[in-house]
Structure 1
């Protein structure tokens, strides 16, 4: 189980590192890399085989325990930097200085862990993760980013509770090691999933969008190939889905004559679904249908182009399915005869 947890968390850490490498590093992005990498390191060091090998290097000092405690302290520090970076009262120019101070404190406390003083590190973890949880709760929402933040908040809260329990036990005279309970492994997985949630969800939604738009996109692009620039093979899935939306909207604009054709000035239906059904018939047979003005193509008020194109794609698929049914029936009757 320990190896599987380490694999999951290191995979998330690799994704975050790749994100920073592909974009300009910022204190928030670097903090996410440090946080998830620290959780991955702590999860790996908590594996019994790894800990046993490390302890052979320094059997009296408990090297594996010290490194695990240091990793979770760095996790708390990086998480706190990420939380502070979204505070509106903190100037952007001061953020890097704050990050340096927080990381420095975490390293100094790590040295204290090696000297057998875990209480200051536990106090730091509790304070840092309290700031993370309080800040994160304010940004939880039913959006891809909000869902990712909620997972980070949950994982951080687990570490916070475990560290608070450890602090109480240390103060009462009991020996306690940060990262010594299964709760830390659960927290590592939850936080790692939260850090890559937006990346994974946007990729999955883009794949779904491409599949849903495939029929209407194919017919319109074949009819108006000039709306496509390049082959798109070197692009990401998310960008291809965004380009597909633009292709459909541009092709519909061209099919309407770019607003230069005489129309019958039909009134727009009150229902967006009714308009989508009429447009689906027009997309399939522009010659046999009435000429529609560009007003018909524009997304309804409050509807994004992506959502509108997906609605049109669904209406077009329904149109094709409905109109192919009689043809299938005729084919079956002919075969029977």
Structure 2
């Protein structure tokens, strides 16, 4: 496969180009086959790039875009009122074949609206879904949707399950266990949409539907793919990130409480550092928009350099796996 070419919305997120440009250059240095296109206000981007000597400019291009989609902007305004935004220009590069993927830390609603308009959805898919891997006791689980679709019917949940199963296979899971996130594991539990989606999945060929899974079972590793609407998925994701941060803060406080606890903390520090690295949200940053005719990865708006690097790596892996092509070839048999 040819070297990945990724368009970066350099103006998005809470920290903008001062975070995104260094993260991009770091990824460029660590991956000799990677090519990046930084899209945004070129004078500012040029200054930031020039502050890092030794950059391989043969694999880096800067495309000027004069407008920025703000984090609180309505998707309709970004779609109709900002034709020269960095987000739109980055997606247009994917549409026009000048890049194979787009990464943005910008406004999620605007990114979804622009991506659907410019790249279109795959045949058989009504709505794209945001998916990411979350850590579990057994490794990781793909969770979707993460907020792109707040209101979903049973058919949408079924489509998410199909896409999640194909994505898990691309990651090396031979027969992914697909489950619907629910308030209980019994068949009588859940709302009507979840029950109808379960009925569709039980009849589906090529999908290993394992039934319902509760939130605690999700983190025990009882599913390889967990499906829910975007309202539930976003709350679960943000809650788990907050819980991980709270646990780390509490541990720090406990190990500072006395001389003995500080000694215990010193002895446990190597293991604690390893655990923090394994559970850190930055290591799981980057949600792919499944169901589009192109690759789009959404980085957390508050992600720092480490988190944004993870999102770029995620986009490069989706390119190498040809995720839209895999989905297209599988969907016609499953939908």
TM-score range, shorter chain: under 0.3
Structure with the greater relative contact order (CA < 8 A, sep ≥ 6): 1 or 2?
2
More helix by share: 1
TM-score by length of 1: 0.23
More strand by share: 2
